[in-house]
Structure 1
Amino acid sequence: MQVGSELRNVFNWLGFRVTIMEDLGAAEMRQRLGLISQSVRGHCFVCCVLSHGNEKGVFGIDREIITVKEINSLFSPQNCPALVNKPKVFFFQACRGGQRDHVLQVPAARAEVQVDAGEIDVPERVIISTPAHSDILNCLSTVEDYVSIRCRKTGSWFIQSVCRQLKDGFCRNDDILTVLTRVNAEVSGLEARIGRNTVKQSPEERHTMRKKLYFRVPKKE
């Protein structure tokens, strides 16, 4: 089964209305996502981008770049008021550079770290507002400057793990960051041979979430 089909099945199972767009150029991606940002409704929005990429962003079919920042900005409060204060989750399956993460042998060690945060002044009166970049979760298949591995037979390590862990984690009533920690553990435990080298991969999450996010699990019949 192709990874796109797996993603569609998982999010259909979770009760999302799924729209699939294939083989788009970068400009068309901006246009289509911009239209979605104007019409989307609901309690949560998820966008999955599966493509090639480099350190600047992801490629459209025309090999032009669209950045993660651009995609996020299309769903800012100014551009997408319907999703203000609602979680916006983005999955990116794409390389972020050309380096390969190799196996390293390191001795076991115990590290102790102390951090002194110092004092913070808190004003007596606080006006609550919504930051322009709040409630966004970016889930990236690999860390900056490194390739993202995809098996020709079974597909992307990252997307396969996301699909498995979403199903398993939400059945256990885990929040999405707990689920993604399991994705990181699973993917980073895999190895592949490219030429004479054994390579690894480490996914990465960046977020400005202000609350835990749980996806609804369908009731058993």
Structure 2
Amino acid sequence: MSNVIRGRVVIIAITEFHSKPGNAVMDPRKGVKRDANRLFKVLTRMGFKVSLHMDVSAEEIKEIYQNESKMPQGECFISILSSHGQEGLIYDFYGEPVFLKDLCSILDPRNSSNMEGVAKLFFVQACRGEELDKGVFIETDSAPGASDAFSLILHLPRDTIIMFASSEGYVAFQNPAGAVFLQTLCDLLEGQERNLELNKILTRLNNRVANDFHSQGAYEGYKEMPCYTTNLTKELYPFRQF
């Protein structure tokens, strides 16, 4: 039997927040366990080596990435991050920022030879600001602003793609049924779309979320527009059925 793995997946999901003194208190995030468990099952069935980490600190997150970067790799390494956030960062279990540029740096082949030639895929379920796409939902993944935002493209290792649940400066929606962004991703991976080239999958993800979703509750009818940044140098079929 071959020892080659399809790829590795890290899921970081924050549901509850225990802010340190001086930090703003952040609301709990309903539906996160539903998202995380479904992603774990879908990707495991597809042959990925998946690790799921709930309610962890910034230091633990960095340690997870350090350890993963030293493991045998497949064609791609997938990161799924679900938390409150702002542009360029998510928040950990204690409300401390975790900068995406730091996670990218850990996966940079210049810092980890194991990541040479490995495509690095990020899916980020978190707000990137507090602007509303003509509306707001009762719950969002926003949090108090941070001063250390950055131009993400300058920090991407080669062959990286980062897919965000919302456009720059805007909120992302989270609700008890799960995040529309992550649930739609699972729908696509369970359908025939999984056989498409990655950019086509992400374009369909954009289309479904943008056109089929609208917020409900007190501010019914507002939208979410995912987007992605990439410096991939080749076509990629990471989810294709063998």
Task: Report the TM-score when normalising by structure 2.
Answer: 0.73
What SS does structure 2 have at the residue aligned with 1:162?
Answer: helix
In the alignment, structure 1 residue 156 sits paired with structure 2 residue 188:
no
Q: Deviations over 1:176-204 (max 9, x none)?
A: 11011011011111111353463210001
CA contact (8 A) 1:13 1:218 kept: no
Distance in 1 (CA, whole Å) between partners of 2:156 and 2:85 is 26
Structure 1 residue 96: deviation in Å?
A: 1.1
Superposition pairs of residues 69-84 of structure 1, within 5 angstroms: 69-84=101-116
Whole-angstrom distance in 2 between the partners of 1:205 and 1:151: 22
Matched residue, 1:10: 42
Asked whether 1:35 is paired with 2:59, we answer no
Q: What SS is found at the alignment partner of 1:71?
A: helix
Conserved 8 A contact 1:15-1:216 = no
CA 1:216 to 1:191, structure 2 compared with 1: closer, same or farther past 3 Å?
Answer: closer
Whole-angstrom CA distance in 1 between matches of 2:240 and 2:88? 36
Answer whether contact 1:54 1:95 (CA < 8 A) is retained. Answer: yes
Verify the 8 A CA contact 2:76 2:120 in the aligned structure 1.
yes
Candidates 133, 145, 156, aligned match of 2:157: 133
- Kept in 2, the 8 Å contact 1:93–1:159? The answer is yes
Answer yes or no: is the 8 Å Cα contact 2:196–2:240 preserved in 1.
no
Note the 1:128-207 alignment, pairs <5 A.
133-152=157-176, 154-171=177-194, 173-189=195-211, 190-193=213-216, 195-196=218-219, 198-207=221-230
Aligned AA for 1:54? Q
Aligned AA (1:10): V
* Cα RMSD (Å): 2.0
Q: How far 1:77 moved relative to its partner?
A: 0.8
TM-score normalised by structure 1 residue count = 0.79
Give SS of 2:123's match.
strand
Size of the aligned set, in residue pairs, is 190
Structure 1 ranges of 4+ moved more than 6 A:
none
The amino acid that maps onto 1:58 is: I
Residues 1:157 and 1:12: Cα distance change in structure 2 (over 3 Å): same
Shift of 1:74: 0.9
C-alpha distance after superposition, 1:148-179 (max 9, x if no partner) = 11122x110100111111232445x2111101
1:161 corresponds to which letter in structure 2? Answer: T
Ranges in structure 1 where 5+ consecutive residues have no aligned partner: 104-130
Instruction: State the shift of 1:14 in Å.
Output: 1.6
Distance 1:159 1:100 in 2: 19
Q: Residues of 1 paired with 2:124 and 2:112: CA distance?
A: 20
Gaps (5+ residues) in structure 2? 1-32, 136-154
Percent identity between the aligned chains? 26
Q: Are the counterparts in 2 of residues 170 and 214 from structure 1 also a CA contact under 8 Å?
A: no
For residue 80 of structure 1, report the CA deviation from its aligned partner. 2.0
